[in-house]
Chain A
């Protein structure tokens, strides 16, 4: 090859490499998006989750006649798998990642006189829908920290009323929600910045994150919080398991 051609090819290659390094990577390939997965367990015996007597609301009591409902404060499954634990990133998010708002609109349903889900995690300013699937009126009353930045609200939703759309403006871990009409109804809304997850019945969770170093926090409504430092690399998911000690 002539010397001029060699230079042209070399510089083009260099140029491509340079672009490859310097380009901010908007279309990051799947291989470079990271993940944290894990399992959350309870060490010890879960406190007794008493059965809930819904006799004052016959339409709901009937639904659960053959399958009584229990408290959901500490839901531990087989092998101590802990459900309803909120997992979120407490440190390490960039400015853009922290202020990003998920475009999903989860539903907070009232069904069989229970809140489904019992615990919901969402971002500040992330919209969610509240629906009433029961034959009785419910009253959704979240009680954020008194004096805090989130405003308390109290809305009734009769049978037949349309779902309503609402959002929280500030972080709070977590806002307890109750139904004034049915005192046993109880749940939590954890308002956290950045990607988040709630552990399922097998205690597992997955959070999608770009590669980096993070501190991840797990919150359980009765057992408190646990933190872990996790480094996420491109490709293989990082693991963060949590174990909560029973009280």
Chain B
């Protein structure tokens, strides 16, 4: 039976590796300007993890095959080098590799989080609330009007609690259910949670960030490919979590301008 166990382990290890090597189910294409280092990190980690996985499973299988049973005529042996060799192997083969991954990975993280948004980044506010995302564009005045939580009324489509009668800055704000952005133009996304925790995830954009009630966070990114992508909520927020999504539409600058005009007319 030992030999069967060994063969099974090797077969499972190889079959597990195949979909990874063939990218059968893989990450969506990267349409962001900051995604390349993330994808590189992913590939390097995959190589390290993959090699560690295959090597250790195959070694396990080999030892089970070779050293099972009473093996009459053979004595108990001990691995040359003993525990010390194993400790060094762990430190050198795995420890230093993962630390290297960690150190190189800081650059990918820093590009996203430790750089401020560009001066001409387009501000868009996104509000996450059970169970939809709504977006607000500041309009021609470039300013977002104040929000009044006590005025929020979904029945009258006042999702942000704007008081357009009394707040002049709110008058030209444009509220939409879909987020359109122009291609190759940095976006400064201002994130606000209306009720509980949510998260903003667009796989193609290489962006995932939680909304924190009580803490207004922001992200910045630039999209490099025209298309329609999904924004999905990844922080459990209640019964409608699975259906909490919105579409991100990356358009050419002129298409975006047309879209914004049309949305403004519908306010």
Contacts and interface: CB of A to CB of B under 8 A. Distances in A.
**Direct contact between the two chains A and B in their complex (CB within 8 A):** yes
B177 A73 contact: no
A54 B159 CA distance: 14
A136 B131 CA distance: 14
Contacts of B130: 180, 183
Interface string A72-104: 010000000000000000000000000000000
A135 B176 CA distance: 24
A156 interface: yes
Given A156-B239, A183-B129, A56 B156 contact: no
Contact of A53 (B154, B156, B177): B177
Contacts of A2: none
Interface size class of chain B, counting residues whose CB lies under 8 Å from the partner chain: 20 to 34
B178 A178 contact: no
A146 to B, nearest CB: 15
Interface string A203-223: 000000000000000000110
B239 A180 contact: yes
B266 A186 contact: no
A56 B245 contact: yes
Nearest to B245: A56
Contacts of A199: none
Contacts of A136: 243
A184 B154 contact: yes
B240 A186 contact: no
Nearest to B249: A55
Contacts of A182: 131-132
Contacts of B156: 71, 73, 222
Contact of A183 (B154, B176, B239, B266): B154
B265 to A, nearest CB: 10
Taking each of B155, B156, B176, which has the highest tally of chain A beta carbons within 10 Å of its own beta carbon?
B155
Contacts of A56: 132-133, 177, 243-247
Contacts of B178: 53, 55
Nearest to B134: A183
A139 interface: yes
A75 to B, nearest CB: 14
B16 interface: no
Contacts of A55: 177-178, 246-247
A184 B157 contact: yes
Contacts of A52: 157
A176 interface: yes
B149 interface: no
Interface in B235-261: 238-240, 243-247
Contact of B155 (A73, A139, A180, A181): A73
Contacts of B132: 56, 182-183
Given A71-B157, A180-B131, 16 more contacts: A51-B266, A53-B176, A53-B178, A55-B247, A56-B133, A73-B155, A139-B239, A156-B239, A178-B154, A180-B130, A180-B238, A180-B239, A181-B131, A181-B239, A183-B129, A186-B154
